[in-house]
Amino acid sequence: MNIDLEIYSPVQQLHDELFDERGLQVFVKRDDLIHPIISGNKWRKLKYPLKQARAENKTHLVTFGGAYSNHLLATSAAAAQFGFRSTGIVRGEEVSNDTLFLCRLHGMNLIFTDRGSYRDKAALFDEHFGNDPEAFFIDEGGASALGAKGVSELIDELTEPYDHIFCACGTGTTAAGIISGLHTQHLNTQFHGIPVLKNGEFLRTEIDKYLNAPAEYRLHTDYHFGGYGKTTDGLIQFIKRFVSSTGVLIDPVYTGKMMYAIYDLASKNYFRPGDKILAVHTGGIWGLLGMKDRFK
């Protein structure tokens, strides 16, 4: 069975008075439409690792994540679709939630582990699957050079030039892929990363690890809203307004923070009139389910 999905990720313009006033054109690349579960950057990051697993006759994907991890969920569905078994090693004590329910429904075996042991993923893999010759290690969040290679293909799909491109950053793999893709295509689009964690400057080291050539890019580290998985009433209000006026679902963990940043920067005249901006919708809308209570 071929490991491939036909990519459906149209570019769509976002209309807003703010953008008209500032003379900006803002577009979204709808990677969230690639697949309902294996969505967005998670499919792009998994594509080449899965091909490698297949080439090495590995039949069992083993990966890692928190209890609300979009990556665990995407891996469970990709494993089911492409004929792998899957195990998710989950950080923290046993819990049940919508994400883990969907992981299990896709056949993923879950192993909960305390936060201390979780830090050493190689040791955990060895402990549980050291004797399983068919087990294939995929790092937390799909972070890898092969992951970045998959993401870089997003740039090949663009049919128009943009002045700016934005994405939300967790491990930085997606950012690295986009930056590499821009470099390969000789585009001088300015890349902007929105770290969703506190003290996001550390991501420079992570991103640079995956780049073949040094690159200039910007990280806007003030849009974490308190840290990973944290949110504020202001961000929730923004998401309600955005979703109800565009029909594009975003979540408070990743794409909500990115979109907020674009609107905020636009309102502060960060861009030049006439600029064309592309926001990458990296998917992950199931993250909303873990935050329902905040929307009351």
Both tokens of 247, joined, read 């029909």
Alpha-carbon distance of 264 to 267, in angstroms, equals 5
The nearer residue to ligand PLP, 22 or 200, going by C-beta atoms, is 200
What's the min distance (Å) between Cβ of 77 and ligand PLP? Answer: 13
Instruction: Locate 180 and state its tokens.
Output: 């590499």
Nearer to ligand PLP, 113 or 174 (CB): 174
What's the closest the beta carbon of residue 290 comes to ligand PLP, in angstroms? 12
- Of the ranges 110-118, 169-177, 260-268, 288-296, which one interacts with ligand PLP (CB under 6 A)? 169-177
Helices (H), the chain: 17-22, 41-55, 70-82, 98-105, 115-118, 121-129, 145-156, 173-184, 203-209, 233-246, 255-267
Is 70 one of the binding residues for ligand PLP (CB under 6 A)? yes
Nearest to 151 by CA among 134, 168, 137: 168
Question: Exactly one of 9, 14, 19, 41 binds ligand PLP (CB under 6 A); which one?
Answer: 41
Instruction: Between 70 and 113, name the residue whose CB sits nearer to ligand PLP.
Output: 70
DSSP labels for 89-150?
EEESS----HHHHHHHHTT-EEEEE-HHHHT-HHHHHHHHHTT-TTEEE--GGG-SHHHHHH
Phi and psi, residue 120, nearest 5° = -105, 90
Q: Per CB under 6 A, which of residues 119..148 are in contact with ligand PLP?
A: 141
Show the site string, 195-234: x = touches ligand PLP by CB under 6 A, - = not.
----------------------------------------
Minimum distance of ligand PLP from residue 171's CB (angstroms): 3
Residue selected from 65, 88, 150, 170 as contacting ligand PLP according to rule CB under 6 A:
170
Which of residues 26, 168, 261, 266 is near ligand PLP by CB under 6 A?
A: 168
Residue 173 touches ligand PLP, criterion: CB under 6 A: yes
Residue selected from 76, 86, 113, 255 as contacting ligand PLP according to rule CB under 6 A: 255
Provide the minimum distance between the beta carbon of 29 and ligand PLP in the complex, in angstroms, as a whole number.
12
What is the closest distance, in whole angstroms, from the C-beta atom of residue 93 to ligand PLP in the complex? 23
Whole-angstrom distance, CA of residue 180 vs CA of residue 148: 8
Q: Cα–chain-centroid distance for residue 13?
A: 21
Residue number, 88 or 129, with CB nearest to ligand PLP: 88
Output the CA torsion 83→113→124→118 (10° steps). Answer: 110
Q: From the CB of 225, what's the least distance to ligand PLP, in Å? A: 14
Distance CA 24, CA 17 (A): 10
Using the rule CB under 6 A, which residue among 35, 40, 76, 290 binds ligand PLP? 40
232 half-sphere exposure, CB direction, 13 A CA radius: 11
The strand pairing partners of 219, in sequence order, are: 193
Task: Name the residue among 218, 212, 221, 220 with its Cα closest to residue 180.
Answer: 212
What's the burial of 265, exposed, middle or buried (CB within 10 Å: 0-12/13-18/19+)? buried
Q: Which is nearer to ligand PLP, 32 or 129 (CB)?
A: 32
Q: How far is the CB of 49 from ligand PLP (least distance, A)?
A: 13
174 is an interface residue for ligand PLP by CB under 6 A: yes
User: Which residues are at the interface with ligand PLP (CB under 6 A)?
Assistant: 40-42, 70-71, 141, 168-175, 254-255, 282-284
